[in-house]
Chain A
Amino acid sequence: MLLTVEKLNKAYDGLEVLRNIDLSVEKGEVIVVIGPSGCGKSTLLRCINGLETIRSGSISLNGELLNRPKTDWSSVRQKIGMVFQSYDLFGHLTVMENLLLAPMKVRHEDRKTARIRAEALLERVGLGDKSRAYPRQLSGGQKQRAAIVRALMMEPEIMLFDEVTAALDPEMVREVLDVILELARDGMTMIIVTHEMQFAKAVADRVVFIDGGEIVEQNTPELFFTNPDTERAKRFLNIFQFDTPK
């Protein structure tokens, strides 16, 4: 197992947000996490890379326990890439400087080799001509693609995506999802939180449905979207189809 989460509990000031979460992710697996707003999806991702402290339970990466008092989060987070919903590029740096910052400061890579990797990755996501642009000069979709590349620069073993298209205009959603689909094809291990059901169906190896801070159902995308095991998932999907006819 690449990532194992066991009996994870998380509370914000006494308010329970995640309860008894058990989740294992194999190398190369693509997990899609769905669930109603406020159910704890973002919190789960943030706990996995230590942006939130947990109340109890365990999180291990490659068998190594992460939630110890002495965890070197800087080195753990290099193995866990994360992209957020909102634009998370650093506004005072160009795209290229955004990509080089962590490789140079955290991995102590020299500028030249990091640059070569950055250019290749930018080319791959169709941003070959944007390396000198500032984030404010990019469209929403371009920013998110650049943010994905920035995370990939650290050569992570697993990527976490938290509704990376939720803040985008509809016409830009596609270009970002295509990048993620390509990553999936290349065998990247990923946990993806999304409300894009078509995309979820297409990319997921397994769907994890969270409601009220608990994992209510884990299933294959085929079964989950046509004939889920649980009532709660059924209800959620009905509401969803009602909201977004596709």
Chain B
Amino acid sequence: MRDLAVLLEGRNLARLFEGLWVTLRLSLSSVLLSIVLGIIVGMFMTLKNPVTRAVSRAYLEFVRIMPQLVLLFLAYFGLTRVFGLNLSGETSAVLVFTVWGTAEMGDLVRGAVTSIPRYQYDSAYALGLTKIQAYIFVIIPQTLRRLVPPAINLTTRMIKTTSLVVLIGVVEVLKVGQQIIEANRYNAPGAALWIYIVIFFLYFLICFPISRFGQLLENKWRD
């Protein structure tokens, strides 16, 4: 019981929620930026030009091959060394997750756009729809239906991956948990388990509704 009580001691629970807010703030800024930039980059990726293709390919491969942790260290320590840019942990994190998220999101947009069969465009034009009308009423709605489920999946992946920022000194939910555990190492050594269970639920609280929402849309839109 002593172990469980640690959670309620002092500001411990409040601190965990503050940590969660940091996690959320990081993930949401990165996700929103990635969606906006990813749509632009995704359009760029659909171009048939061999040069733009090679560039987008290289960008995507680079981001996929590099572990996110390496990118984080690169941004946080590397940029300081090389360019004298002094980025805070949070800024570096948002930067890295946006660079990563934009590449993945761009690839999802590219996939969704190119999966619309040519006949859908042709039929729309053949009915007399203008190019703009065809996009508004036919192409974009279908693209969104294909895009939203995997984009939601990516969002939850990004939220989970933000836990890496602990390693560049950002105090988010996981770090707060570790601090509480450290502080109680001697008086309540069993608290660690409870803290991690609470953190598990906090992640669950954020990710579950998002991924449920994704599934609902997917079922509704299946075609």
Contact = CB atoms under 8 A, between A and B. Distances in A.
Contacts of A46: 122
Contacts of A75: 128
Contacts of A134: 223
A92 B144 CA distance: 11
B137 interface: yes
Interface in A103-159: 105-107, 134-136, 147, 150-151, 154
Contacts of A84: 119, 122-123
A51 B125 contact: yes
A106 B129 contact: yes
A230 B129 CA distance: 41
B130 interface: yes
Contact of B137 (A77, A78, A91, A105): A105
A73 B129 CA distance: 9
B221 A101 contact: no
A77 B127 CA distance: 6
B178 interface: no
Contacts of A106: 127-129, 133
A154 B124 CA distance: 12
B132 to A, nearest CB: 10
B126 A87 contact: no
Contacts of B122: 46, 51, 82, 84, 88
Nearest to A81: B126
A107 B119 CA distance: 22
Tell me which of A77, A89, A91 has the highest count of chain B C-beta atoms within 10 A of its own C-beta: A91
Interface in B163-205: none
Nearest to B133: A105
B25 interface: no
Given A84-B119, A86-B117, A101-B137, A92 B126 contact: no
Contacts of A135: 223
Interface string B104-130: 000000000000010110111111111
Nearest to A51: B122
B131 to A, nearest CB: 9
A101 B222 CA distance: 21
Most buried by B among A73, A105, A134: A105
A17 interface: no
A134 B14 CA distance: 50
B123 A90 contact: yes
A77 B125 contact: yes
A65 B119 CA distance: 26
A74 B129 contact: yes
B141 interface: yes
A92 B222 CA distance: 9
B145 interface: yes
Nearest to B144: A92
Nearest to A79: B128
B142 interface: yes
A87 B117 CA distance: 10
A49 interface: yes
Contacts of B145: 92
A102 interface: yes
A150 B223 contact: no
Contact of A49 (B119, B126, B142, B221): B126
A77 B126 contact: yes
Contacts of A89: 123
A115 B46 CA distance: 38
A101 B126 contact: no
A102 B128 contact: yes
B223 A154 contact: no
A151 B142 contact: no
With most chain A CB atoms within 10 A of its CB, the pick from B125, B141, B145, B222 is B125
Contacts of B120: 88, 90-91
B127 A154 contact: yes
A136 B219 CA distance: 13
B138 interface: yes
Interface of A: 46, 49, 51, 73-75, 77-78, 80-82, 84, 86-92, 101-102, 105-107, 134-136, 147, 150-151, 154
Given A88-B122, A106-B133, 11 more contacts: A77-B128, A82-B122, A87-B119, A90-B120, A90-B123, A90-B142, A91-B142, A92-B145, A106-B129, A136-B222, A136-B223
